[in-house]
A and B are shown apart, each in its own frame.
Chain A
Amino acid sequence: MTHLDGIVKAKTRRAKRFLQSREPKLTESLKNCMIIKGGNTSETLSQALKDVYALKKPNAVLYKKKNMVRPFEDSTALEFFSKKSDCSLFLFGSHNKKRPNNLIFGRMFDFHVLDMFELGVERCVSLKALKKDTCPVGTKPLLVFAGELFDTDREHQRLRSVLTDFFCGPRVSAVRLAGLEHVLHFTALEGRIYMRSYRVLLKKSGCRTPRVQLEDMGPSFDFSMRRSHMASDDLYRTAHKKPKGVKPKKKKNISHDAFGTRFGRLHMQKQNLDKLQTRKMKGLRKRKRRGEPAESVPPKTAKTDV
């Protein structure tokens, strides 16, 4: 609702708070995600959408009804949805003859599409199918990417960034060690991307760090890359621009050694130690002499006299 910023005035406190929550913030902690069903979806696809929704749950909106949208042809509808639900990430699923089982992962900047990647689902194992324990809702997953392609290929690099953005959840300053229960593993291999989701079991290893065992949790997908839309470099740079207030100003000329001791250089005037005031006591009190007033004149003026 940016186009109405400041023009429509909230009539109640509650509405004001709501509008404030949608205003741009200096530090953003969370991106919401909308999961949209396309005009036609196959059974596997709607199950996949539901599963991803389950993974993203507190920060996601599921659009369950049919939406005749073609993001690569016309993204205005998506932009409208994103404004409506204040989401900047989206997952769009559609199924047709030309592109069966199509998933589009994407993200927005300022309610305009930044990047989107079309992935075809070749194989899908849903959460339900495995019938195993799942991790609690809202668990922040560990994300692992494997494969050369994610490093060398430009499209894959960007896809890695999109997937990180999509799944990494809220930005937090601390994490409960026992709560690291969920891993999402993405492997790029022979033009396919294998997304696997595992439950982490932390076993005793004898030392502080536990030994990791994994258990299949689902959903797991085999993706094949299809179309992609990447933002222009200019827009991409703008989207990454950090606001001024966030970065703390670096203090100059201060260094630290290995133990964290702070070093710096102090600039002081030369001290006259002869006139150092020690502890005042009656016994040490200076006596006033007659010649003293001339002596107590500061040296600078004395110089000018000479």
Chain B
Amino acid sequence: MASCSIEDVLAKAERDEAEKLRSIAVNKELDLEFDPGHLLAFDKNRVDTREFKDNKGEDFLRSLARDNTQLLINEIWKLPTEKVDEVIVAKLPDSTTPLPREKPAPKPKPPTKWEQFAKLKGIQKKKKTNMVWDEVHKEWKRRWGYKRANDDTKEWLIEVPVTADPNEDQFAKRNKAKKERVARNEYNRLKNVARAQKIKVPGIGLAPTSQQSKSELAQAVNVAKISTASVGKFQEKLPKEKTSKNTGKKRKFQPLIGDFGSEKQKQLDLLKVMDSKKPRLDVTKAVNKQMREEDRESAQKSKKSFGKKGRKGNMSGKGKGKGMAGGKGKGKGMAGGKGPKGKGRKPNMKQGKR
């Protein structure tokens, strides 16, 4: 009896378990595909159209959705959980569904001219402290910006250098110098940007400088002279002015003996380019050719079929000789057909050329 009761208890427990599971279990012909990373499920099973119609669409869709959602929820509940701020949270794995990116991946920034130079020389960045001791105010102040330490723009008096013009405004001079430095820096920044984007940097030869030398001035004059619509052909000249020479780009040659590796590479690259060059396809020309060929073929076919008919008639009548003659005639006909066309075209072409 005792054993029987144990069996009963076990069976009952099993049944209970099954009952519990039944409420969350769903039977499907094909298993669903899950991607818990995106909370995504995909049911590949065929949707029964008849049931959809019988069952008044909406209810059918809802029951389908319920089953699928239950399966997805079952899958999500299997994930490892964590307690964060009194809330149970399921950790999601990386998603398996590939989705395209929004923007292409960022590229590393190309180094500026200074960075290149610093790397070459091994100059490393040093962190400067933000606060600096100001001797005048006897105070710690910021190195840069508003209310900075040792601010030379805030001086109320500047000593006029012995060499300087006594009437010159030293404050204005200082301001101007500052503005020029700022402009120069901006120009350099733009040059860096241009170099990074592989755009040709304009006007490197004639960058603004504070004091232009004789040669620079001469170059500027030359550039200005040839910057006309007629490339300076009709520019007026001074009585004894020499025409400028060597204003263009000088040719540069590779050294006679140098890096053999790079030279070899260059040659190989050239060969590669030559090898890979294919004749360019002129689409209109190719299409015209194809069309003409098709026309010709169809024309030939139609003629052949006529010829066959003729032949049959001939065969029934006389011997081979006539058939041969018919063949010749055909050939002549073809040639004749072509001839006038060609003749008609040629003069046209010539006229067009002239």
- Measured CB to CB, the residues of A under 8 A from B are 2, 6-7, 9, 23-26, 28, 31, 88, 107-111, 114, 140-148, 150-151, 160-161, 164-165, 168, 171-178, 180, 183, 185, 187-190, 194, 196, 198, 200, 202, 205-214, 216, 236, 238-244
B76 located at the interface, meaning its Cβ lies under 8 Å from any Cβ of chain A in the complex: yes
> What are 5 A-B contacts defined by CB distance under 8 Å?
A9-B189, A24-B106, A146-B45, A183-B65, A212-B66
- Within 8 Å CB of A187, what residues of B? 47, 61, 64
Q: Which residues of B contact A189 (CB under 8 A)?
A: 47, 49, 52
Apart from A187-B47, A239-B100: 14 A-B pairs, beta carbons within 8 A: A2-B103, A143-B40, A143-B41, A146-B65, A147-B43, A164-B99, A172-B92, A174-B84, A183-B65, A187-B61, A210-B24, A240-B101, A241-B104, A243-B105
Chain B contacts of A198 at CB under 8 A? 62, 65, 69
- A252 → B minimal CB distance (Å): 21
B189 touches A164 (CB 8 A): no
The distance from the CB of B19 to the nearest CB of chain A, in whole angstroms, is 8
- In the complex, which residue of chain B has the Cβ closest to the Cβ of A22? B103
Q: Give the distance in Å from the alpha carbon of A45 to the alpha carbon of B57 in the complex.
A: 22
> For residue B84, which residue of chain A has the nearest CB?
A174
Name the B residues within 8 Å of A211 (CB-CB).
23-24, 70
Residues of A within 8 A of B65 (CB): 144, 146, 183, 185, 196, 198, 214
Does B39 count as interface, using CB distance less than 8 angstroms? Answer: yes
Say yes or no: B101 contacts A239, CB within 8 Å: yes
B72 shortest CB reach to chain A, Å? 6
Q: How many Å from the CB of B113 to the closest CB on chain A? A: 15
Cβ B87 vs Cβ A171 within 8 A? no
Tell me, in angstroms, the Cα distance from A30 to B237 when the chains sit together: 67
Residue of B with least CB distance to A243: B105
Q: How many A-B residue pairs have CB under 8 A?
A: 192
- Closest 6 pairs (CB-CB, A-B): A243-B105, A239-B100, A24-B103, A206-B20, A146-B43, A185-B65
Interface residues of B (CB under 8 A from A): 19-21, 23-24, 37-47, 49, 52, 57, 61-62, 64-66, 68-70, 72-74, 76-77, 81-82, 84, 87-92, 95, 97-106, 189-190, 193, 196
Tell whether, in the assembled complex, residue B89 and residue A176 are in contact, meaning their CB atoms are under 8 Å apart: yes
- Looking at B38, B82, B95, B102, the one whose CB has the most chain A CB atoms below 10 A away is B102
Per the bound structure, the CA–CA distance linking A10 and B153 in Å amounts to: 25
For the complex formed, measure the closest distance between the CB of B84 and the CB atoms of chain A, giving whole angstroms.
8
| Distance in Å: Cβ of B193 to nearest Cβ of chain A | 5
Is A209's CB under 8 angstroms from B74's CB?
A: yes
